[in-house]
Amino acid sequence: MISQIKAIKKLQWLRPNRASPVLFLLLLFIWSILLGWGMSRELGNAADKPETIAQGSTVTIGTVDPVPAKYQSGLKLYLENCASCHVGLPPEVMPSETWRTLLLEPNQHYGRQLKPIERPFISIVWNYLLAFSRSLNKEEPKPFRVSESRYFKILHPQVKLPKPLNASGCITCHPGAANYDYRKLSRDWENVP
């Protein structure tokens, strides 16, 4: 009997110990925190360098913000579909909700019927517009004219805008607007603070 007890005790080290679920959850929690901390450090460092996020390149063709490589196809499709009829507006000047409506309701495009953008291209354009536009505040009306957009007004402080304001008027101050270049300003505006 004593030899059997000794044999059982010797074999117990072979049997897996059942770890407490609390210990497992504690280890999982610690691992998650460390993983999150490491990712936030890397993403924080990458945010300082847009080319890191863009996997090697960004495009600055005069848009308000540089466009990382992962959004370049959306930019190209946006320009092909929208800037072929009028001056392409940077996504920054209108809220995301306005862009969404314009994409999903092509039959309501300022009194014109547009040909809808085919799938999956509409998703690529939407990802680009969403990445560079901003959201509306609660109870803020959805603007469909740049002159009604809070973001447009923020980007144009101290500028007396003509009335009526339309996309073609952008060329007055931004001579490269026809080529989607909003960084260059006309001589009248180059040195204005």
Clarify whether residues 167 and 74 are in a common domain: yes
The Cα 33–Cα 117 span in angstroms is 43
The Cα 159–Cα 80 span in angstroms is 30
Provide the domain limits for residue 29: 17-48
Clarify whether residues 152 and 120 are in a common domain: yes
What average pLDDT score do residues 22-41 get?
79
What average pLDDT score do residues 108-125 get?
83
pLDDT at 54: 35
Clarify whether residues 73 and 41 are in a common domain: no
For residue 10, pLDDT beyond 70:
no
The Cα 128–Cα 73 span in angstroms is 8
* Cβ atoms of residues 171 and 183 within 8 Å: no
* Cβ atoms of residues 71 and 154 within 8 Å: no
Task: Please give the DSSP secondary-structure letter assigned to residue 95.
Answer: B
pLDDT at 29: 85
The Cα 156–Cα 83 span in angstroms is 21
At 47-90, the pLDDT tens digits run 443 333 334 455 555 566 788 899 999 999 999 988 888 888 89
Locate 77 and state its tokens.
Answer: 């499709």
**Residue with the larger pLDDT of the pair 172 and 1:** 172
Average pLDDT, the chain: 77
Clarify whether residues 133 and 171 are in a common domain: yes
Task: Please give the DSSP secondary-structure letter assigned to residue 16.
Answer: P
- Domain presence at residue 154: yes
For residue 13, pLDDT beyond 80:
no
* Cβ atoms of residues 180 and 76 within 8 Å: no
Residue 61 makes CB contacts below 8 A (sequence gap 6+) with: 67, 179, 180, 181
At 157-182, the pLDDT tens digits run 888 887 777 766 788 888 888 888 88
The Cα 69–Cα 53 span in angstroms is 8
pLDDT at 59: 52
For residue 130, pLDDT beyond 80:
yes
Clarify whether residues 108 and 41 are in a common domain: no
- Domain presence at residue 38: yes
How many domains does the chain divide into? 2
Q: What is the pTM of this model?
A: 0.63
Clarify whether residues 153 and 117 are in a common domain: yes
- Domain presence at residue 94: yes
- Domain presence at residue 151: yes
